Chain A
Amino acid sequence: MEKTLEVKDLHVAFSTYGGEIKAVRGVSFDLYKGETLAIVGESGCGKSVTSQSIMRLIPSPPGKITNGSVLFKGRDLTKVKESEMRELRGADISMIFQDPMTALNPTITVGEQIIEAIIQHEGISRKNAKEQALDMLKLVGIPNPKERLKHYPHQFSGGMRQRIMIAMALVCEPEVLIADEPTTALDVTIQAQILDLFKEIQVKTGVSIILITHDLGVVAQVADRVAVMYAGKIVEAGTRREIFYSPQHPYTKGLLNSVPRLDLEDDELIPIMGSPPDLFAPPAGCPFTARCEHAMEVCSRAYPFQTRLTEEHHVECWLQDERAKALLAR
């Protein structure tokens, strides 16, 4: 499959009063054309920072990409000039944010907010840009789009605003769409509608989507592949099927156990006890050690190697070591 985006060994740190927070510590993944990759994890695991680093949107200072590369169309996005980056943003890579209530400028009409993106990148007349914006609003299912272009964000419901955000992100036909918790702030019924819209748009435009979420329900509905992040690292990744039906990392298992499932009789939810480690001083070993029920001596002493199970499925856990398997078997 054709790769649209390659992230290699990405490190991002924030310098704060208390010291340096290593928010992302060596994240690598590929994004294939036309697929949806979900990045899953608890809040603070670095998934949003990863996505914003791809677009170089992390506030800097204090944030800084300290290592790694993001390859897109043969260019390393961590190294291109800011002006080049600006041409890419919104045109080739777009982003949708969590809270549609605050992500739109309250004092500018939604029409203008969509049109300005088109004019910025395509340099066409305002009239044509307006036509294009209208088509886009129709595509994302805004009723009465001609009227609605003149309205301000507060005149829309949350779900409608997120549709507008999607329209705005897709209006220049980008190849990559990064959606950072796009449904978290919405009602459950609206969530389903928005997710359907993602799928529909992907079929129509062939856009590759990176979906950042903490909600495994959302992942199950739309993701082709899943990367599980913990404490700034991808601890397990694989196809949706592999992650849901044969999870290997204790953290992935924990996540799945803490989500209600209708297909299982025994519906007892098991929360993951404890909280993620402090990224001011990330542990040398596996960051999940303190919360892991299978923790071994080795876990806190060395970070586990990556074990590749199938073409897509890989995991970073000491339990994959033969000696650990022997220990468990005992």
Chain B
Amino acid sequence: MVPGGPPVRDPVNDPPEPVLYMGFLRNVVAAGLMLAATLVCAAADEAELRQLVAKFADANNFQATEAVVRELGATGSPAVEGLLTALSQGSLYVRKADDAIFVGDEVGPDIKLRDPLNGEAVGTVAKAGLTKIKVNNTLRRVIRDALGGLTLGSNDPAVRLAAADTMFKNPDPATIAALDAAIAGEAVDSVKARLEQARASAVLLSDLGEADKMAAIDILSSRADQDSLSQLSRFQASAEGPLRASAAAAVATIDQSLALWQVGQNVWYGISLGSVLLLAAIGLAITFGVMGVINMAHGEMVMLGAYTTFVVQQVIRDTAPGLFDWSLAIALPMAFLVSGAVGLAIERGVIRFLYGRPLETLLATWGVSLILQQAVRTIFGPTNQEVGTPTWMSGSFQLGQLAITWNRLCIVVFCLAVFALLLHVMKRTPWGLQMRAVTQNRRMAASMGIRTPRVDALTFALGSGIAGIAGVALSQIDNVSPNFGQGYIIDSFMVVVFGGVGNLWGTFVGAMSLGILNKFLEPYTGAVLGKIMVLVLIILFIQKRPRGLFALKGRAVEA
């Protein structure tokens, strides 16, 4: 009930009376017809299903729809699989004209209709002529469970695996017989193991004997994950005698192994956060570390990279949707060029007049960052832009008890690749040699014939370009908005300063250790205090080592 408000009446539970009455009447009629049909012609399987499906037209609330779904699921007929899937995706429609049920695919303003059972195309109708059958979460779950039972016999092992998982998570003693049959007929080992686990979880709830339950505990404890832990601990609470003891032992073992995995999980999260920090900071390590430019516009270079990704995806969506999975690969060089070009322009236009006055580059680049932000806001608008994730980067996979998401893994790998490439450029190419020469002794380098202004400009462009490709990667995990860069700039500076200015390895170690430190603090202190503590630790650390983790060695008094 809503306090201070009127009594809340639930429109779904309490539909207007006449409709309910009508619906009820019709249901009675339909049920009667169906009964008659069954009696008259027991073989008319499809006709029977169609009768059931037709009930959707009268199901005007979620409960009624749910009842129909259950009935359909209970038929065990594989023909309803596609229909139920369509319902859970919200693409099952009632034609207003004759209350017929269809699966529909949206095509612009119209909807292409298919027969719900055999999938034959029926024609196209305007949206206004159809009513969509609404689903909610509860209904989706019911459908999923119903499908779980139906798809146990599927030909595709992956579908069977998913079915086994669903049944594992929703244990029901009534399914033991079906599972036994499925286990007997299963040829694929991994699926078989899952089916056995599903059976074990059902056995714990059933009234089978102690021996069966003991075996079930063994199977579940070998699974050793969070789900089996919660099932076992629930069982432990209700069990007695030796069963209770063995369940308790299993719970303890699982707890222990999960605690270990937890550490691994934190390390992984730390590495993944570290690589985000590294990606954001690595361009800065060049512009700030090598050139001494306090580049406050660095975050905006990252933002430009992210916006380039958005534009590339937009173009691909309009012209060649098939290339979408490649959009990030296409965006990478584009982002490098865009951010690099802007960086070059900034260096030539502003920064080259300020060399030797590092603190003033801070002011000028801060000005540049404001202009870039507002420019992006004017061109693209202030709201978030949608950057899609290619299918191969979505989802996650399990490594033992570690859930590793593909996009994080891709970012870690990508970040290491960028780092390796950059090291290669700095250490193994003539350009890198020139850069280092200019950094170490500018006048000597100039005397040797190196065109120092050109090296400066290219170095700055390189740093900016790297920031741009970082933007491509970061667009996958964060908002693409004009404020995008602001979120990273302070963290990036902390990483570079912590690691030691002018040293790429310092930046690497700095980013990774800050990432891992953050993730180990977070569970104990919460995210907010964790972040504050990391900042305080950096301040304290700088007192101890005023030149960062890996300071450049030199003999000058004020180097």
Decide whether A and B are members of one complex. no
List A residues at the B interface (Cβ < 8 Å).
none
